[in-house]
């Protein structure tokens, strides 16, 4: 079969990214233009600024992606683009760019779900084999699913309120750390001890998660301490939060290992960049003799290479999108 080169576009939040991915697994080029420093000034992503900045850089990102790969648009097999979930204004910039390229160069267009992209980032490391458990931990989602094959998802559970990444970001904010919060909470926790007694995000016997109680408990604790002029041991609080938040993920994956007997785990989404999470999942997989896949740091957070990887099975099945493809802020896997 002829090699397939997918040009992928990702602009769902505050990264403008494009990549060329060969046969769904080999990254030929990847460019990520992050707006992080701008949004950090406001303590979080400002949607209007995000979409304007995507517009400003997207053609430059395209030029650089092609240049790095030493390829022309004529060499590309298909154009893939994230169409959900994400910030609508940001998604539209990428979608319009992808549609325009598909139209001008007469290439198939492939709409990709961002969360599925995070899962397929693992294919850039090692070929995913099925059945597997996929744990999605991002800024907007916390889900545990079974995959029996490419694009075959069976949801076990999800968060009933806040996503784990969102909890990291809110805890960071109340501790006075800069956006994005996750990596900064992780850094602070390195010098802390587990000494705060926090409520566990336990949803008992289900596979669902709940992080808003844990988040609120920390916000209240910090506010109360301020009112009483008491000092917060920030490092300890960060460490205590991280242990409670991540141990609940471990508990749910362990339950799934026991109940499904599946021996493979892939972790996906921004929070998979967390070292403590990685270490705990490594221990758990060792205990159950399961194979663990976590993408390298570059592919954990938002990037277009994962979109190119996720588009490949759709390309093979000729599941193309038409020009009505539109942005949606909604979207789980199913
Ligand atoms: O997947 P992602 O880049 O964007 C979404 O699709 O949401 O995930 C972003 C989330 C943010 O909440 C960020 O704080 C969190 O991932 N994150 C981390 C770490 N790096 C990013 N959380 C904990 N530890 C990290 N090292
Ligand atoms: Zn993401």
Tens of pLDDT, residue by residue over 137-171, are: 999 999 999 999 999 999 999 999 999 999 999 99
pLDDT of residue 255: 97
Assess whether 220 and 115 both reside in one domain: no
**What gap in Å lies between CA 334 and CA 327, rounded to an integer?**
17
Kindly report, residue by residue over 186-245, the tens digit of the pLDDT. Answer: 999 999 999 999 998 876 789 999 999 999 999 999 999 999 999 999 999 999 999 999
224 inside domain: yes
Is residue 325 assigned to a domain?
A: no
295: nearest Cα among 120, 42, 43, 87 = 120
Closest residue (by CA) to atom 14 of ligand 1? 182
> How high is the pLDDT of residue 204?
74
Residue 240 and residue 288 in one domain: yes
Pocket test residue of 173, 182, 190, 331 for ligand 1, highest count of atoms within 8 A of CB: 182
Q: Whose CA is nearest to atom 22 of ligand 1?
A: 182
Q: What is the pLDDT of residue 43?
A: 86
Same domain, 228 and 267: yes
Same domain, 19 and 78: yes
Hey, which of 10, 113, 168 would you mutate to test ligand 1's pocket, going by the most ligand atoms within 8 Å of its Cβ?
Answer: 168
The Cα–Cα gap between 297 and 261 comes to 28
Residue 61, C-beta contacts closer than 8 angstroms, at least 6 positions apart? 16, 17, 18, 31, 33
* 115 & 134 share domain: no
Segment 278-286 mean pLDDT: 98
- pLDDT tens sequence across 58-85: 999 999 999 999 999 999 999 999 999 9
Same domain, yes or no: 48 and 180: no
pLDDT tens digits for range 23-52: 999 999 999 999 999 999 998 899 999 999
Could you tell me the distance, in angstroms and rounded to a whole number, from the CA of residue 305 to the centre of ligand 1? 17
> From the alpha carbon of 301, which atom of ligand 1 is closest?
3
User: Coil, strand or helix: which one is 137?
Assistant: strand
71, 220: one domain: no
Q: What is the pLDDT of residue 203?
A: 66
DSSP-derived letter for residue 153 is: E
Write out the two tokens for 259: 């109940």
Identify whether 332 is part of a domain.
no
Minimum mean pLDDT range among 6-15, 130-139, 170-179, 195-204 = 195-204
Tell if the pTM clears 0.85, that is, is over it: yes
Domains in the chain, number: 2
Q: Would you state the pLDDT for residue 165? A: 96
Shared domain check, 284 and 168: yes
Both 308 and 280 in a single domain?
no
Closest of 79, 68, 82, 75 to residue 101, by C-alpha: 79
In a domain, 321, yes or no: no
Give residues whose Cβ lies within 5 Å of ion ligand 2.
138, 302
Instruction: Name the closest-CA residue to atom 2, ligand 1.
Output: 270
Inside any domain, residue 48: yes
pLDDT category of residue 334 using cuts at 50, 70 and 90 = low
Percent of the chain with pLDDT over 90: 93
Domain of residue 34, residue span: 5-120+299-316
Task: Determine, yes or no, domain membership for 57.
Answer: yes
Residue 39 in domain:
yes
Residues 169 and 283 in one domain: yes
CA of 118 to the centre of ligand 2 (A): 7
Residue with tokens 């602070």: 188
Closest by CA to 301, choosing from 215, 184, 182, is 182
CB 12 within 8 A of CB 91: yes
Name all residues whose Cβ lies below 6 A of ligand 1.
13, 114, 118, 138-140, 165, 168-169, 180-183, 186, 269-271, 273-274, 301-302
pLDDT-derived band at 55 (thresholds 50, 70, 90) equals: very high
Measured in whole angstroms, the distance separating CA 143 from the mean position of its chain's CA atoms is 11
**181 & 195 share domain:** yes
Edge-to-edge strand ranges of the sheet holding 142-149: 152-158, 142-149, 132-137, 264-268, 291-293
| Residue 163 near residue 139 (C-beta atoms within 8 A) | yes
Going from the Cα of 104 to the center of ligand 2, the distance in angstroms, rounded, reads: 29
CA dihedral 151, 157, 162, 164 (to 10 degrees): -70
Ligand 1 pocket test, candidate residues 87, 271, 272, most atoms within 8 A of CB: 271
| pLDDT for the residue numbered 214 | 96
On whether residue 322 sits in a domain, the answer given is no
């Amino acid at each position: 079969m002829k090699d397939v080169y997918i040009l992928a576009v990702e602009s769902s939040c505050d990264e403008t990214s494009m990549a060329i991915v060969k046969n769904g697994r080999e990254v030929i080029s990847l460019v990520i233009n992050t707006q992080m420093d701008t949004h950090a000034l406001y303590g979080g992503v400002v949607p209007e600024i995000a979409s304007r900045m995507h517009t400003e850089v997207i053609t430059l990102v395209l030029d650089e992606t092609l240049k790095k790969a030493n390829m022309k648009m004529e060499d590309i097999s298909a154009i893939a683009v994230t169409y959900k979930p994400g910030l609508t204004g940001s998604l539209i910039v990428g979608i319009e760019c992808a549609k325009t390229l598909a139209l001008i160069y007469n290439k198939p267009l492939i709409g990709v779900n961002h969360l599925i992209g995070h899962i397929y980032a693992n294919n850039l490391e090692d070929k995913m084999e099925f059945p597997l458990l996929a744990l999605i931990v991002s800024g907007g989602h916390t889900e545990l699913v079974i995959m029996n094959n490419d694009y075959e998802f069976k949801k076990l559970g999800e968060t009933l309120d806040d996503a784990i990444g969102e909890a990291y970001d809110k805890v960071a904010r109340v501790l006075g750390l800069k956006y994005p919060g996750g990596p900064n909470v992780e850094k602070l926790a390195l010098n802390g001890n587990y000494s705060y007694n926090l409520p566990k995000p336990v949803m008992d016997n289900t596979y669902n998660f709940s992080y808003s109680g844990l988040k609120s408990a920390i916000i209240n604790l910090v506010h109360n301490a301020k009112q009483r002029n008491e000092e917060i041991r920030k490092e300890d609080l960060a460490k205590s939060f991280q242990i409670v938040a991540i141990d609940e993920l471990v508990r749910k994956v362990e339950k799934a290992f026991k109940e499904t007997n599946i021996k493979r785990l892939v972790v996906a989404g921004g929070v998979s960049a967390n070292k403590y999470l990685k270490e705990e999942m490594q221990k758990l997989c060792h205990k159950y003799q399961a194979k663990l896949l976590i993408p390298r740091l570059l592919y954990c957070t938002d990037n277009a290479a994962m979109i190119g990887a996720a588009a490949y099975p759709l390309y093979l099945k000729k599941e193309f999108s038409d020009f009505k493809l539109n942005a949606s802020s909604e979207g789980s896997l199913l």
